[in-house]
Chains A and B, each alone.
Chain A
Amino acid sequence: MRALLSTIPVVCFLALPLASLAQSIDYDPRRPDELKSCDDHEYRGREGDAQECYTRVLNGPYTAVTRAEAAWRLGDLQRANRLFRDAVRGNQRLIHARVRWARLFVETHQYADAQTLLREALELSPSDVYGRLALAHLYAERFDGQAKAIVEQVLGEDDRNYEAHLLAARMLLEEGQLDEADASLDRAAKSTPDGLPPLELYSARATLDLARGRDSATMVKNTWVTRALNYNPRYGMVFDDLAHFEVMRRRYREATPLLRKAIEVQPDLWSAHADLGANLLRQGQIEEARQHLQTAYSGDPYSPTIVNTLRLLDRVDEVDVSSNKFTLPASGETASTDVEILLRLNRKEAGALHPYVLELARDSVITFSRRYGYRPTEPLTVELYPNHDDFAVRVAALPGIGLLGVTFGPLVVMDSPSGRASGDFHWGTTLWHEMAHVFTLSMTDNRVPRWLSEGVSVFEEWRTGPVPGVVVPPEAIAALRAKKFLSVADLDSGFIRPQYPDQVQVSYMQAGLICLFIEQRWGFEQLPVLLRQFNREISTKDAIEATFKVPVKEFDEQFDAFVRQRYSTALARFDEWQRAATLARKSVEGEQWQAVIDSARTAIAIFPEDIASDSPYLLLAKSLDKTGQREQAIDALTRYRQAGGWDPHALRQLAEWLEAAGQSMAATEALAAVNYGDPLNSQQHLKLGEQWLEAGRAEDSLREFEVLLALDAHDPATAHFGMARAFRAQGDLQASRRHLLDALETAPHYKPAQSLLLQMIEERQE
């Protein structure tokens, strides 16, 4: 038992005011009777009476667990922790104490410790219902699919478990399964235990009403909200829950007044302060966000999300903000529209990234406005973070998450290319993907379901992005083969609560393929029509049926036939593809070039969309080059690029080979494409600057030399000299002279610059 106990770290808690942390209602019938009268005061919002009652219990002749619960309710978490620990040490087979102690850890955001305690409890008693439900809550918090299985198991044993029904309903609400959530809440209502408050049931009912299309502005007068507040006038959680649901649906603007209401009703509801702070940040209201986060921190100093976000805000002066405006021309009946794009880039790399980020963001607005018939009505903001952990804090307030980019309405937040190793991700495609979200979210007032928003973004990556080409990884083909694709009506659950490791990635691909299917089957113009169905509250099933006039089941069947036809070769010969791809990789290691060529060609023929880092195209190109077949090697890399391949090393290699083969323009274009994958390479900009200049494209050349100057503080003379020549080619002799003198100021003996200076003087004298 000591071993078990030793796994729990000693936690130092600080005393906090009563109700400082949002404690969920304890439905466990093992809750000590001595607490029940105190709980009643608490649940009814009679704060003074509750405090007096819990204090009496804390100082009374009761068990350590009972007193721990009282200390917890009084906000003395340190004492509660100590009492729980003493209780468990005193009786190593205590189960209920472990479960409750774990809940205390959950409240202080120490999820790993909570999980360890729950595992210990369940080792002692695997069937403990409230231990399992506590674990399910823990999983549900993290959107882990295991939560559902536990709840189903508990309800399978006892269909009248109130807490299980409530948790099931919450997960169903998050997934948009409204009818099922409604049924769960009905069953919960029939199972309400005597003496326990119906507050969470009322709150869930209110959320269901909101999900079914009630305007969030009217929720203050909603029946269930009124009932909750009649029961407990200090029950701010009812608004916090509503706001949580709005945030889940990316309706950040609508969540804000609900969070303000939560704080108004319950000023010490620290979770609502934290949520409001995070939500205001998403809307760019940094100062007010900071105030609420500081308030939240004053009451909940254990939350890493709050601390991390405040630390990030302390470094706000590291960001360079630029406002960039342009006009979308009039089209049909639509007048011309002014669009503003705010770029928030780290000062250290703003100069290097600004031209490319702005160009892509602007192109995306032009492209999506045209394709979807919608124009932005408010400024768009793009933020890039060179430190991935800062990005992770910005979007979820926790470092270490694996996302690349996130869109909050008109705000796009993503990793900077410097935030990851070269070749790790294609930042241009990520930005394109996120900008598509800006449109799908805005044009549906954030009602678009997750699958469709992701699907359109993936589809637009393929159709209009900086690296066109339909790219579906083998994992998606394997899932298709294993019949793991979901019905379109259920596809959101593949994103929200995945059931197998690759499911989120597979769901992205399936969503993209559904959009491709719509384009192929009904024409692209039906995709915006489908999107507009979500201008109102409507289920995916109803939206599909309204748009395409087919039952959703038939839609699924047609999509399945489409995708199976499209990938018929890969599906039929998947094992052969795997063998060929594996053999190609192994043969490269052994430098058996002919074997690589043969197997890579087989793999490409079966599944030409595999452009992963060890893609057969890359192995084929290398082997062909090694065997003196440079022309065919160029062809292999060209086909790789056409299929959507973007690996910076491969494209640089292609550019080098093309240059050597005398195909200068193709070489320059291949190298220029690398800027959207790996733009922070000074040699690349130097080369491109020279090549564009030689090709007579002075504007492109100038951009490359400007970036070189921003990127390479080590050698400004070269960049200034390049800019001098680019300006000269554009006919701007004054700017040319200035940059030429800047180059020579740094490097007075720079002979090419000296030559140009003398030439400039001679021309002036003529």
Chain B
Amino acid sequence: MAAAAKVGTAVKRWATGDRLLAAGKARAASTQWFFAGAVLLASGVSADTYSLVVSGLGGEPGYEQRFSEQAEKIAAASRNLTGSEATTTLLTGAKADRESVRRELRSLAAKAGPDDEVIITLIGHGTFDGEQYRFNLPGPDLTAAELGTLFDALRARRQLIVNATSASGAVVDSWKREQRLVITATKSGGERTATRFAEHWVSALTSLEADTNKDDIITATEAFEYATRKVTESFKSDALLATEHSRLSGENAGRFQVARMGTAARVTSDPAMNEMYAQRVRIERELDAVKERKASMVVDAYYDELEGVLVRLAQLQRQIDAKQPAGRE
């Protein structure tokens, strides 16, 4: 457990946004993996990720069913991410009324500490009358201002709010906070047509297509870019003018995990395995260091050095894989 605790400490440091957050963009890709492995190992020890998924009023059976199914898939991905049933809450259908949403958000504010992470996903229809955004729920709606107040009460410093509803772009400015990521399906309140974003956000969280760096972990950046690209392609394929343009507001989305798959989703308490994970973290740091020096190196020397580190990483991965069932090939 010593190794686990040690790695967990590193996670907390990173999660709270100190020294490591200052690192350049290039190092993000591999440190994400490190973070993933570390959180898995440290699960329940230090930082937790809490998730609330709400599917609002569909208005008609087709939308009702679609929104519920999407919410369920996102909730399942969240459980996979956190490794725990208890940290994920799903509100759909009649249960997703204004009071329930308020209650769950207050509960989250109480449960999630400053070092924890919170992911809130809103699916369904939204409206914007030029002044006020409303998330459509059975019974009274919730306004952007009400939701914003509830979000501000959360103690978790790292927050991701995904508003996949129509007109969701209207909330970006009012919900923006330091260390909070806000993703919306539309660029403004004026994009009022039912959105396609949620469908592709679900795909990003449940398949490996969005995983561009092949580490079995989907970050908010990867999921956002994937969903955005798929939305664009779907309008183009239908030869329609796009009626939604997603937005991402906030920093370090590349370090905010939203899904894990394959080996990254497995939890282990084997000390030998933990030692290998820790060793992998160290190699990844070396890799980051080499990549950061790329601009100042002769090309051949850079590739020679890169190869050396990558070979060690690959050899270690082979050992890890030999000790556990295979992940993605």
From B213, B237, B306, contact of A749 by CB (8 A): B213
| A422 near B313: Cβ-Cβ < 8 Å | no
A746 touches which of B213, B237, B329 (Cβ 8 Å) = B213
Q: What are the interface flags for A729-766 relative to B under an 8 Å C-beta threshold, 1 for contact and 0 otherwise?
A: 00000000110010011111111111101100100000
6 nearest A-B pairs in the assembled complex, by CB-CB distance: A754-B314, A747-B214, A750-B214, A421-B239, A747-B213, A749-B215
Of listed B29, B239, B310, B327, residue having the most chain A CB within 10 A:
B310
Q: A716-B212, A748-B213 provided; 6 other pairs, C-beta below 8 A?
A: A715-B212, A746-B212, A750-B213, A750-B214, A751-B321, A754-B317
Q: Judge whether B216 is part of the interface by a CB distance below 8 angstroms.
A: yes
Give the docked Cα–Cα distance between A750 and B216 (Å): 9
Docked-complex contact B310 and A757, CB < 8 angstroms: yes
**Interchain residue pairs with CB less than 8 A apart (27):** A421-B237, A424-B239, A714-B229, A716-B212, A717-B213, A717-B214, A741-B303, A741-B306, A744-B306, A745-B310, A746-B213, A747-B29, A747-B215, A748-B29, A748-B30, A748-B215, A748-B287, A748-B310, A751-B214, A751-B321, A751-B329, A752-B329, A754-B317, A757-B310, A757-B311, A758-B311, A761-B311
Instruction: For chain A, residues 146 to 164, give those with C-beta under 8 angstroms from any C-beta of chain B.
Output: none
Per-residue interface assignment for chain A, residues 260 to 273, with 1 indicating a CB less than 8 Å from any chain B CB and 0 otherwise: 00000000000000
Q: Does B328 contact A (CB under 8 A)?
A: yes
Q: Which of A424, A717, A741, A755 contacts B310 (CB 8 A)?
A: A741
- Please report the C-alpha to C-alpha distance between residue A715 and residue B229 in the assembled complex, in whole angstroms: 12
B292-303 vs A: 1/0 string, CB under 8 Å? 000000000001
In the complex, chain B residues whose CB is within 8 Å of the CB of A745: 291, 306, 310
Partner of B225 from the list A422, A714, A750, A755 (CB cut-off 8 Å) is A714
Q: Is A758 touching B318 in the complex (CB atoms < 8 A)?
A: yes
Known interface pairs A738-B303, A745-B291; A751-B317 also in contact (CB < 8 Å): yes
Interface string of A710-733 (1 = CB under 8 A from B): 000011110000000000000000
A745 to B214 alpha-carbon distance, docked (Å)? 11
Known: A717-B213, A749-B33, A751-B328. A422 touches B311 (CB 8 A): no
Say whether B216 contacts A749, CB under 8 Å: yes
Determine the distance from Cα of A533 to Cα of B62 in the docked complex, in whole angstroms: 67
CA distance A684 to B303 in the complex (A): 31
**Bound complex: CA A758 to CA B310 (Å):** 9
Q: DSSP majority for the A interface? A: helix
Contacting residues, chain B, for A755 (C-beta < 8 A): 314
A411 to B313, CA, bound (A): 53
Interface status of B256 (Cβ within 8 A of chain A): no
- Collect the chain A residues with CB atoms within 8 Å of residue B237's CB: 421-422
Tell me the count of chain B residues lying within 8 A, CB to CB, of chain A. 31
Q: Which of B208-251 contact A (CB under 8 A)?
A: 212-216, 225-226, 229, 236-237, 239
Q: Give chain B nearest CB distance to A419 CB in angstroms.
A: 11
Chain A's nearest CB lies how many Å from the CB of B146? 37
Set of chain B residues within 8 Å of A424, measured between Cβ atoms: 239
CA distance A747 to B313 in the complex (A): 12
Interface flags, B11-43, vs A, CB<8A=1, else 0: 000000000000000000110010000000000
A745 to B212, CA, bound (A): 12
> What CA separation (Å) do A717 and B287 show in the bound complex?
16
Query: Are A714 and B310 closer than 8 Å at their CB atoms?
Result: no
Q: Within 8 Å CB of B314, what residues of A?
A: 744, 754-755, 757-758
Supposing A714-B226, A754-B317 touch, asked if A749 and B214 sit within 8 A by C-beta, the answer is: yes
In Å, the complex CA distance between A755 and B326 comes to: 13
Contacts of A421 in B (CB 8 A): 236-237, 239
Q: Which residue of the partner chain B has the closest CB to A757? A: B314
Interface size on A, residues (CB 8 A): 25
Which chain A residue shows the least CB distance to B291? A745
Also in contact, A748 and B315, with CB within 8 A (given A717-B213, A741-B307) = no
Query: Whole-angstrom distance between the alpha carbons of A754 and B214 in the complex?
Result: 11
Which residues from B are CB-within-8-Å of A758? 311, 314-315, 318
Any A CB within 8 A of the CB of B284: yes
- Most chain-A Cβ atoms within 10 A of its Cβ — which of B213, B225, B229, B284? B213
Query: Min CB distance, B294 to chain A, in Å?
Result: 9
Interface residues of A in 388-435 (CB under 8 A from B): 421-422, 424
Identity of the chain B residue whose Cβ is nearest the Cβ of A759 in the assembled complex: B314
Per-position contact with B for A288-302: 1 when CB-CB < 8 Å, else 0?
A: 000000000000000
Give every chain A residue within 8 A of B214 (Cβ-Cβ).
717, 747, 749-751, 753
- Give Cα A754 to B321, complex, Å: 12
CB distance from A643 to the nearest CB of B (A): 25
The CA-CA distance from A741 to B303 in the complex, in Å, is 7
- Expressed in whole angstroms, the Cα–Cα distance for A749 and B215 within the complex equals 5
Most B CB contacts (10 A, CB to CB) among A422, A716, A748, A758 go to: A748
- Name the distance in Å between B291's Cβ and chain A's nearest Cβ: 7
Contact code string A686-719 (vs B, CB < 8 Å = 1, else 0): 0000000000000000000000000000111100
Nearest to B225 among chain A residues (CB) is: A714
Q: Closest CB of chain B to A393's CB: distance in Å?
A: 20
Contact with A along B116-128 (1 / 0, CB 8 A): 0000000000000
Which chain A residue has the least Cβ–Cβ distance from B307? A741
Q: Which residue of B lies closest to A424 (CB)?
A: B239
Residue numbers in A under 8 Å from B303 (CB-CB): 737-738, 741
| Shortest Cβ distance from residue B29 to the other chain A in the assembled complex, whole angstroms | 7
Shortest distance from the beta carbon of A287 to any chain B beta carbon, whole Å = 35
**A748/B313 contact (C-beta < 8 A), A421-B236, A421-B239, A741-B307 known:** yes
A757 and B318 alpha carbons, distance in the complex (Å): 12
Among residues 232 to 277 in chain B, which have CB atoms less than 8 Å away from a CB atom of chain A? Answer: 236-237, 239
> In the bound complex, what is the Cα–Cα distance between A741 and B304 (angstroms)?
9
A424–B284 Cα distance when bound, in Å, is 48
A750 to B328, CA, bound (A): 9
B284 and A748 form a contact (CB under 8 A): yes
How far does the Cβ of B309 sit from chain A's closest Cβ, in whole Å? 9
State the Cβ distance, B266 to closest chain A Cβ, in Å. Answer: 14
Chain A residues with Cβ under 8 A from B327's Cβ? Answer: 751
B207 to chain A, nearest CB (A): 13
Q: How far is the CA of A498 from the CA of B180 in the complex (A)?
A: 63
A residues in contact with B212, CB < 8 Å: 714-717, 746-747
Bound complex: CA of A422 vs CA of B233, how far in Å?
Answer: 11
Min CB–CB distance A253 → chain B (angstroms): 39
CB distance from B208 to the nearest CB of A (A): 11
Q: Would you list which residues of chain B between 157 and 189 have a CB under 8 Å from chain A?
A: none
List chain A residues, Cβ under 8 A from B226: 714
Chain B residues near A717: list those with CB within 8 A: 212-214
Q: Which residues of B contact A714 (CB under 8 A)?
A: 212, 225-226, 229
CA distance in complex: A738, B307 (Å): 10
Docked complex: B274-289 residues within 8 A CB-CB of A: 284, 287
A717 to B216 Cα, complex, angstroms: 14
A20 to B214, CA, bound (A): 65
A498 to chain B, nearest CB (A): 27
**Which single residue of chain A is at the shortest CB-CB distance from B33?**
A749
Q: Which of B70-84 contact A (CB under 8 A)?
A: none
Closest approach, in angstroms, between the C-beta of A420 and any C-beta of chain B? 9
| A463 → B minimal CB distance (Å) | 32
Complex: chain B residue closest to A747, CB-CB = B214
Kindly identify, within residues 618 to 653 of chain A, every residue whose CB is under 8 Å from any CB belonging to chain B: none
* Cross-chain contact A749 with B311 (CB below 8 angstroms): no
Please report the C-alpha to C-alpha distance between residue A745 and residue B290 in the assembled complex, in whole angstroms. 10
CB distance from B233 to the nearest CB of A (A): 9
Which residues in B have their C-beta under 8 angstroms from that of A744? 306, 310, 314
**Bound: A746/B306 CA distance, A:** 12
Rounded to whole Å, the gap between the CB of A64 and the closest CB of chain B is: 46
Query: Which A residue sits closest to B306, measured CB to CB?
Result: A741
Among A716, A741, A744, A746, which residue has the most Cβ atoms of chain B within 10 A?
A744
Chain A, Cβ-Cβ closest to B316: A754
- In the assembled complex, the CB of B292 is this many whole angstroms from the nearest CB of chain A, namely 12
Q: Quick check: B328 and A746 within 8 Å, CB to CB?
A: no
**B300 and chain A: residue at smallest CB distance:** A738
B-chain residues with CB within 8 Å of residue A753 when the two chains form the complex: 214
Complex contacts, A747 vs chain B, CB 8 Å: 29, 212-215
